Structure 1
Amino acid sequence: MSKLSRRNFVSKSSLVAAAALATPAMALAAQDDKDIFIHHVYFWLKNPESAEDKKKLIEGLQKLSTVKTIQKFYIGKPADTNRDVIDRSYSISWMLMFKNKADQDSYQVDPIHLNFVKECSSLWQKVIVYDSVSAV
């Protein structure tokens, strides 16, 4: 086996790191985008100033993320942006990506999802859901 120079080692390591980072993005791009189903849920807590209630909801969402049909998820809070078109009144958002509508339908009746609603619904006063599919 030949000895690698420091320059070659750094160069090859950089290529391996770049490939590792690009692989998830390429896999998502390779998926047929026309079937992707996005499910975005906004929660308004009964006690929006309660750090404990936010923590409980986030922990519940993290458990909920173990549903097998979820491809990707993101738990967020309102960004510090202020324009007339931005609604920052919600407490926590939950964005999910499914491979298709059938996987999202399965998620709705999954015991993990039903248990989340049972355990956490007392925390929120309002929930709004935006579902979207490809327009092209």
Structure 2
Amino acid sequence: MKNLSRRNFVKNVSLATAATATFSTADAKNIKDIFVHHVYFWLKNPNSEADKSKLLEGLEKLSKVPTIRMVHIGSPASTNRSVIERGYAVSWLCFFDNLEEEEIYQKHPIHLKFVEDYSYLWEKVIVYDAIGPKR
């Protein structure tokens, strides 16, 4: 368990470092071009830790798609305000350099295999795609 905790710590530090590097001031002019893809999964068996673990396994595999610039896999936070949706089981947030890179991801064999192998786990999926505002 100690190694797992250390591994998670190193992974989180790496993600924070990557986020800082990805969105540094030097790149600020390019942030408006970033394509954000945020997916929320509701499981068919919401109380099944095995199903949630299986979905997380699939998302880890999915994170290997080469056009993904940065990824975050999450669960609902303990925050509690009227505007917060906490009914989902897992969220999948990834950033792409542009729409074209996200379209490559959608057709990539790893993504297609993820849907084929893991879609039996969820009853509902909501996707929010966003780009920077036109100025």
- Counterpart code for 1:25: T
User: Percent identity among equivalent residues?
Assistant: 53
Q: Considering only CA atoms, is the larger Rg found in Structure 1 or Structure 2? A: 1
Partner Cα distance (1:59, 1:22) in 2: 24
Residue 41 of structure 1 is matched in structure 2 by: 39
Residue 66 of structure 1 is matched in structure 2 by: 64
| 2:34 counterpart of 1:25 | no
| 2:106 counterpart of 1:102 | no
Deviation at 1:56, TM superposition (A): 0.4
Deviation at 1:27, TM superposition (A): 4.1
Deviation at 1:28, TM superposition (A): 2.6
Deviation at 1:23, TM superposition (A): 7.4
> What does 1:54-93 align with in structure 2 at a 5 Å threshold?
54-93=52-91
Deviation at 1:24, TM superposition (A): 5.7
Q: Which runs of 4+ in 1 moved over 3 A?
A: 21-24
Partner Cα distance (1:23, 1:97) in 2: 12
Q: Tell me the TM-score normalised to structure 2 length.
A: 0.81
Deviation at 1:25, TM superposition (A): 1.6
Structure 2: which 5+ runs fail to align? Answer: 1-15
Instruction: Provide the aligned C-alpha RMSD in A.
Output: 1.6
What does the per-residue CA deviation read over 1:57-104, in whole Å, with 9 as the maximum and x for residues that have no partner?
Answer: 000000000000000000000000111101100000000000111000
Say if 1:23 and 1:75 are closer, same or farther in 2 by CA, change over 3 A: closer
Partner Cα distance (1:116, 1:23) in 2: 25
What does the per-residue CA deviation read over 1:5-63, in whole Å, with 9 as the maximum and x for residues that have no partner?
Answer: xxxxxxxxxxxxxxxx8676244323311210000000000001100000000000000
Q: Does the residue aligned with 2:23 lie in a helix, a strand or coil?
A: helix
Q: Tell me the TM-score normalised to structure 1 length.
A: 0.80
Partner Cα distance (1:58, 1:122) in 2: 14
Count the aligned residue pairs: 116
